[in-house]
Structure 1
Amino acid sequence: MKIAVLSGKGGTGKTMVSVNLAAAAQRAVYLDCDVEEPNGHLYFKPENPAEAPVSVKIPKVDHDACTGCRNCVDFCKFNALAYINKKVMVFEDVCHSCGGCAIVCPEKAIAEVDKTIGTTMSGVSEAVEIHSGFLKPGQASGVPIIKAVLSKAPSDGALTLIDCPPGSACVVMESIKDADYCVLVAEPTKFGAHNLEMVHELVRLFEKPYGVVLNKCLEGSPNPSEAFCAANGIPVLGRIPFDLELGAINSSGEILVRSQAHYAALFSELLLKVKEAASRETASDSQR
């Protein structure tokens, strides 16, 4: 079962929720797809982590062999190639690594070479298997790294928590496309409700079953995110209180579930609700 945890903005508690749900399970796999700012490993502190580079293919032009026919320039719909001063120039940041330019070159003047754009890191923390992606600064897209992290998901149906990037851009779409269920984490503010609406629209577009976790809840105070859920018939899976002790433990890079029994109970109950909701949706789909 693959559970994607996402939010409309950073700082809502998305990583806190995904890390603690994974830690609350007896056995789980945690995939950190927030490749621009991965921090799940800072909580889990995996033992003897192994790193591996992630590369993409980019064109390299042999200018001596090139005759200036411009077939490659005409082919590329992403404008990653241009013919300037009698030379084909390559703009790596907009290249989509399709390899088409090399195929259409009649002189075979274009080859593909590897460009390293980041790394993955894998390790274990107690009963949790951790895989994180790290995008090198300045790189245009983290999608290839996200694909590399998602490829680590087990095929035996083990519980997998996917810590998605914040927002609703292409990297988030890549992270949730194979998820069985989505957990949307939201703050109790108007800004939080606005960003919840964004990711709500995204998961509906992808036809993913979903529920909401409301974080930083103050009893008796207005909660625009909860009001949005009520108005749109969105199931609320759980409410995490605004708690100074919780904030202090989380800010110190410790896992709540492993620190205090009452937090272990809170996230174990939340995990049970998430799994029950996901199982109901899976059973409903199989009956259609």
Structure 2
Amino acid sequence: MIISVASGKGGTGKTTIATSIALALASDNHGLTFIDCDVEEPNGHIFLNPKLEDAKEIYIDVPRIDNDTCTYCGKCADLCAFNALLCTGDSVITFPEFCHGCGGCRYFCPEKAITSVPKRIGKIEKGLAKDILFARGYLEVGAALSPPLVDEAKALAGREITVLDAPPGTSCPVIHTVRGTDFCLLVTEPTPFGLNDLDLAVQMVRTLGVPCGVLINRAHNGTELIEKYCQKEQLPILMSIPLSKKIAEAYSRGVPLVRVDKQWENKFRQLYRHIEELVANERNNYN
């Protein structure tokens, strides 16, 4: 079972929810892997306190031009969708920061004047947070391309249950995180901005064909906004967490929600059982 925890915007509490699920299920004797896919700003370690024991540097291939062979025809620059090459007539300038490592320029160069050199984009760190296998991606400062790093982190999914903490938004890194997972838990807040971005996230998840449900965080009097939307879209609301000073203070100290009150541990276990049922029903319908 691979569960991704995502949201249409930042600050909704994804990491709070993802780490709470991991801790609640790990204490229930489930084999648990937690992967922080928010590679630009990973913060799952704040709540799980892993002991990191291994690191692997991640590279992509970027082009290098052989000026003795190149005829400056400009085909490489024309086909690059990301403007990582510029042909000026008597030289080809490369912009490695824009390169997505597809290798198209090298493949289509008529003179075979392009070779590849590795460019470091970040690293994957692994370790243990007590019984939880922990991993996170860490994007190099100044690097613009995070999906390959997300994919490398996701490749570490294993054990009985894997929880993926997705980046915020609905862009490429989020798509790479959510795609292929068994279920996506969408965390939202009961505000107009939260509703707008929840709708974007729902459209993304449905396009990917991943079943999803909603968790309302910081629930208060405005939850009717989210409830009406979910009813219209036939989305299950799986859990609500109230707006609470106690929870906020614990969060500010890096204390996981399941450590605030024992009831939350039981509620997150119940949440997982509900997700299991939804996934089983989805698979039965598919078959």
TM-score, normalization: structure 1?
A: 0.91
Segment drifting more, 67-76 vs 247-256: 67-76
Paired position in structure 2 for 1:263: 264
Q: 2:88 aligns with which of 84, 108, 111?
A: 84
Paired position in structure 2 for 1:143: 147
Q: Is the 8 A contact 1:217 1:223 kept in 2?
A: no
Paired position in structure 2 for 1:197: 199
Q: What SS does the corresponding residue of 2:72 show, helix, strand or coil?
A: coil
Paired position in structure 2 for 1:2: 2
1:113 aligns with 2:117: yes
Paired position in structure 1 for 2:233: 232
Paired position in structure 1 for 2:215: 213
Paired position in structure 1 for 2:41: 37
Q: What SS does the corresponding residue of 1:139 show, helix, strand or coil?
A: coil
1:281 aligns with 2:282: yes
Q: Is the 8 A contact 2:37 2:137 kept in 1?
A: yes
Q: 1:129 aligns with which of 128, 133, 145?
A: 133
Structure 2 Cα separation of the partners of residues 150 and 266 of structure 1: 27
Shift, 1:164, TM fit: 0.9
Shift, 1:153, TM fit: 1.0
Q: Is the 8 A contact 1:189 1:223 kept in 2?
A: no
Segment drifting more, 240-249 vs 273-282: 273-282
Shift, 1:212, TM fit: 0.5
Paired position in structure 1 for 2:161: 159
Paired position in structure 2 for 1:179: 181
TM-score, normalization: structure 2?
A: 0.92
Paired position in structure 1 for 2:56: 52
**AA at the equivalent of 2:257:** L
Q: Is the 8 A contact 1:66 1:107 kept in 2?
A: yes
Q: Is the 8 A contact 2:247 2:260 kept in 1?
A: no
Q: What SS does the corresponding residue of 2:209 show, helix, strand or coil?
A: coil
Shift, 1:221, TM fit: 4.9
Q: Is the 8 A contact 2:37 2:136 kept in 1?
A: yes
Structure 2 Cα separation of the partners of residues 8 and 109 of structure 1: 43
**1:75-99, Cα deviation, whole Å (9 max, x unpaired):** 4343322222611111223322122
Structure 2 Cα separation of the partners of residues 68 and 181 of structure 1: 49
Q: What SS does the corresponding residue of 1:234 show, helix, strand or coil?
A: coil
Deviating 4+ runs (over 6 angstroms): none
Structure 1 gap ranges (5+): none
Structure 1 Cα separation of the partners of residues 231 and 7 of structure 2: 18
| Shift in CA distance, 75/202, structure 1 to aligned 2, threshold 3 Å | closer
Q: 1:94 aligns with which of 98, 106, 121?
A: 98
Structure 2 Cα separation of the partners of residues 48 and 146 of structure 1: 18
**AA at the equivalent of 1:210:** C
Q: What SS does the corresponding residue of 1:223 show, helix, strand or coil?
A: helix
Q: What SS does the corresponding residue of 2:5 show, helix, strand or coil?
A: strand
Structure 2 Cα separation of the partners of residues 117 and 169 of structure 1: 18
Cα RMSD (Å) of the superposition? Answer: 1.8
Paired position in structure 1 for 2:17: 17
| Shift in CA distance, 162/48, structure 1 to aligned 2, threshold 3 Å | closer
**1:132-176, Cα deviation, whole Å (9 max, x unpaired):** 11112222221010010011112x6x2111111111111111111
Paired position in structure 1 for 2:172: 170
Q: Is the 8 A contact 2:21 2:268 kept in 1?
A: yes
Segment drifting more, 106-115 vs 16-25: 106-115
Structure 1 Cα separation of the partners of residues 44 and 16 of structure 2: 8
Structure 2 Cα separation of the partners of residues 208 and 222 of structure 1: 25
Structure 1 Cα separation of the partners of residues 132 and 260 of structure 2: 16
| Shift in CA distance, 92/48, structure 1 to aligned 2, threshold 3 Å | closer
Structure 1 Cα separation of the partners of residues 222 and 112 of structure 2: 67
